[in-house]
Structure 1
Amino acid sequence: MTKALLLIANGSEEIEFVTPYDVFVRAGIQAVSAGVELTEHWAVASRGVKIVPDTTVQELPPVDALAEEYDILVLPGGAPGAKTFCGSEKVKEILRAFYGKEGKIVGTICAASTAIKAAGLHYSKSLTSHPSVKDELTSDYEYKEDRIVVDGNLVSSRGPGTALLFALTIVEKALGAEKRKEVEGPMVLSSVL
């Protein structure tokens, strides 16, 4: 079974966390969430919603084992959460273990794309992010303003309004176009996202 690890911190964007989690489960992907540097058993997301993750990054197996166990790694945006990811050595180790590894997918959305740079990862040539952090990325990457940018095993996206397209793109990359269509149907997805 395909497995996805979704990270969350205080200040992560609710839509960008919950939407991929939901879409992955609909696609038959086992989704596991891990809190990063939480002071309580929950994360207080950017709009005040409390989300209880399945585990914490401290409780996860060693990084090498993670990269073997999980197929997908997702970092949601939200400026405060993204800053936590960028400052976490554990998150940067996890990113380095997944990024550029054959058969693995790394998804970053909104301000979380800055964690790619913070981890010192420059394998991908292009990515996107929320416009508010564009200037932090343009000198190191070919910055695109597309809603979704796929470069190798990195899928990056712009923000809350692109979260559903982001999640479906990851499903398609992991499981194929037919699985994406199968997930879209019952969701009564509009032809224009």
Structure 2
Amino acid sequence: MSKVLIPLAQGCEEIEAVTMIDLLRRGQISVTTAGLETQLSPVKAARGTQLLPDTTLDEALQDDYDMIALPGGLPGADNLNDDERIIQLVQKMAAADKYICAICAAPRVLARAGVLEGKRATSYPGTLDTMDIAGMTYTGAAVTVDGRIITGRGPGPAMDFALALIEALGGTALKHSVEQPLLRD
């Protein structure tokens, strides 16, 4: 079974976080949510929704994952970007050819970690498209997949982004088995 780490930072975008968690778990993919604080405590998302992580990031880092998926939102993406443990984990996972995924403003974390050079990527407008990243092509698409890097534009395409994560880990048949009961047009 594939294992995914979703770090939850104070001020994260709840639509993105909850959509990823929900859809990945519908696909029978193991998801661990981890708060950045040293003690397990609720994360107050950008619109005030309280999310209770499964564990702390320090505890989660004792395990290995096939994918890291970063929800955006502000100041959530900034909080992820300012956490050296997240930057180091993104770099480590990229070096190990694992999936590195981020949506909305969170692709700036991938930029800081240096994993977007020479890649195609998307983000919330005004995030990556204003950065000078060597060889990166900003697509502006709802979801962009470039090898093991998956990026999403924002809350609206959160379901498409989560389904792309499922497809990357489990294939098209698994993606369709999760998507069909959602009754998407």
Per the normalisation by structure 1, the TM-score is 0.89
Q: Which residue of structure 2 lines up, in the alignment, with residue 4 of structure 1?
A: 4
1:119 counterpart = 2:113: yes
Quote the offset at 1:79 in angstroms. 2.1
> SS of the counterpart of 1:77?
coil
1:8-51: per-residue Cα shift (whole Å, max 9, x none)?
Answer: 11110001100010000110101110012477701100000010
Per-residue deviation, residues 107-164 of structure 1 (Å, max 9, x unmatched): 1000000001112324551111000313443443211111111111010000000100
Correspondences of 1:24-173 after superposition (within 5 Å): 24-37=24-37, 41-62=41-62, 66=63, 69-102=64-97, 104-140=98-134, 141-173=136-168
Point out the structure with the larger helix share: 1
Contact 1:4 1:29 in 2 (8 A): yes
For the 8 Å contact 1:24–1:30, the answer to whether it is kept is yes
Quick one: which amino acid aligns to residue 124 of structure 2? Answer: H
Identity of aligned residues (%): 35
Quote the Cα distance in structure 1 between the aligned partners of 2:176 and 2:138: 29
CA contact 1:10–1:38 (8 Å) conserved in 2 = no
Distance 1:165 1:30 in 2: 19
5+ long unaligned stretches in structure 2: none
- 1:61 and 1:108 map into 2 onto residues whose CA distance is 18
Aligned residues: 184
SS at match of 2:157: helix
Q: C-alpha distance in 2, partners of 1:130/1:144?
A: 11
Q: Classify 1:137/1:41 alpha carbon distance in 2 versus 1 (closer, same or farther; 3 Å).
A: same
